[in-house]
């Protein structure tokens, strides 16, 4: 983790470099751009290498195998689970069906009340015409956008949705048995360059999203394309808040929030891409997000380093666009002040400021 002193030093060094860039000739800028591209590519390769090392660990592989058994629930089913759990006095963390818990070496405690969810009923239609493809189940359109009926967006090849049935799941607190293997990403600690938060927030606003600091259930940040909002938890250290903001901006920059992007179908890829981009952006500012990013990317890619490497073009291009905007914001500020050198930013303790109109209690 990066200490406060080293973060401040890295911030100033980065600003000095951007000030020098404003005075470079065109050939010098081209050479600098090439060097930047090489550094971004190297940072992304670093993630792939570290993911590969991590997934060789038997404990991590066991965690991935366990995580693969948990179903991804739609927003409607998440709300159903939360409402029923509240009535039972449960704070749900991991929920699964009776059979899944049994496969994980745990058993549901006798007398436990199941949490009702809507499970899709699908069938394979008879197709007498080999040239006619069977219709597929409905697809998702992005984060925070769920079909009205529940898990209709969970496709199974050419199977077609017939309707829904009521199924029951149980929270881990309602089970006994073997402990689940788990490796949790480490939150970043300490401060971050104040100007970095402001510049990333400006880019979020430029995409038409409103940034708010408020609770995000169990997540550190959430992007809602329908409401056009980006949420970042207010109770995390400044360095973690900046990394989370970079992560959510990466989702927008990569088109993961677009109407035609199947977020639920491609969630693993999308999260691996956003996590990698946030790592590059924060590393550029002198923050070390490796202890968080590597486990996060490994989990969402299911330890498949090919997924990480296949995303290289998307990750590096989006990271360069974000970093270019950071440089542009710095240059514009310098021009307005009539100076070719970047202004010094005062150190700000604690997390990034919350505008009074957006503050939550």
Q: Nearest 5°: phi and psi at 184?
A: -100, 135
In the predicted structure, residue 245 carries a pLDDT above the cut 80: yes
Q: Residue 44 corresponds to which tokens in the numbers above?
A: 């992304």
Other CB atoms within 10 Å distance of the CB of residue 36: 17
Q: What 3-state DSSP class applies to 83?
A: helix
DSSP tag of 352:
P
The structure tokens 């927003």 sit at 75
Q: Average of pLDDT values for 188-209?
A: 93
- For residue 72, the model assigns a pLDDT of 65
| Reported confidence tier of residue 355, pLDDT bands at 50, 70, 90 | very low
Q: Residue 300 corresponds to which tokens in the numbers above?
A: 């969402």
Short-list 256, 250, 255, 260, CA closest to 321: 250
- The least confident of 244-248, 279-283, 289-293 is 289-293
Choose between 120 and 47: higher pLDDT. Answer: 120
DSSP-assigned states of every residue in 155-214: --TT-EEEEEEEEEEEEGGGEEESPPP--PPPPP-S---HHHHHHHHHHHHHTT-EEEE-
Count of helix runs (H) and strand runs (E) in the chain: 11, 8
- For residue 52, the model assigns a pLDDT of 66
Q: Nearest 5°: phi and psi at 245?
A: -60, -40
- For residue 257, the model assigns a pLDDT of 94
Choose between 205 and 131: higher pLDDT. Answer: 205
The structure tokens 């973060």 sit at 7
Other CB atoms within 10 Å distance of the CB of residue 7: 23
Sign of the Cα pseudo-torsion (76, 81, 73, 299, in order): positive
């Amino acid at each position: 983790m990066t200490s406060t002193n080293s973060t401040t030093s890295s911030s100033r060094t980065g600003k000095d470099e951007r000030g020098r860039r404003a005075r470079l000739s065109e050939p010098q800028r081209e050479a600098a751009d090439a060097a930047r591209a090489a550094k971004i590519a190297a940072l992304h390769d670093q993630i792939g290498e570290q993911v590969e090392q991590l997934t060789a660990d038997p404990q991590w592989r066991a965690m991935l195998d366990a995580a693969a058994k948990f179903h991804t629930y739609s927003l409607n089913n998440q709300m159903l689970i939360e409402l029923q759990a509240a009535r039972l006095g449960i704070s749900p963390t991991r929920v699964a069906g009776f059979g899944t818990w049994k496969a994980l070496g745990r058993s549901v405690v006798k007398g436990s009340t199941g949490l009702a969810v809507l499970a899709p009923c699908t069938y394979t239609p008879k197709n007498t015409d080999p040239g006619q493809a069977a219709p597929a189940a409905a697809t998702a359109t992005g984060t925070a956008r769920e079909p009205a009926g529940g898990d209709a967006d969970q496709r199974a090849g050419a199977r077609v949705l017939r309707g829904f049935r009521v199924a029951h799941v149980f929270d881990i607190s309602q089970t006994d048995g073997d402990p689940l293997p788990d490796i949790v990403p480490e939150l970043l600690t300490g401060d971050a360059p104040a100007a970095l938060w402001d510049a990333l927030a400006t880019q979020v606003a430029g995409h038409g999203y409103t940034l708010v600091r408020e609770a995000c259930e169990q997540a550190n940040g959430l992007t809602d394309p329908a409401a056009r909002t980006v949420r970042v938890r207010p109770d995390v250290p400044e360095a973690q808040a900046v990394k989370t903001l970079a992560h959510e901006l990466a989702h927008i920059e990569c088109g993961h929030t677009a109407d035609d992007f199947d977020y639920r179908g491609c969630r693993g890829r999308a999260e691996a891409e956003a996590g990698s981009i946030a790592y590059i952006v924060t590393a550029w500012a002198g923050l070390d997000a490796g202890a968080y990013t590597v486990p996060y990317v490994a989990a969402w890619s299911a330890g498949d380093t090919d997924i990480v490497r296949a995303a290289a073009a998307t990750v590096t291009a989006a990271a360069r666009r974000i970093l270019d905007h950071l440089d542009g914001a710095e240059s514009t500020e310098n021009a307005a002040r009539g100076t070719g050198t970047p202004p010094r930013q005062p150190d700000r303790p604690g997390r990034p400021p919350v505008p009074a109109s957006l503050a939550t209690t």
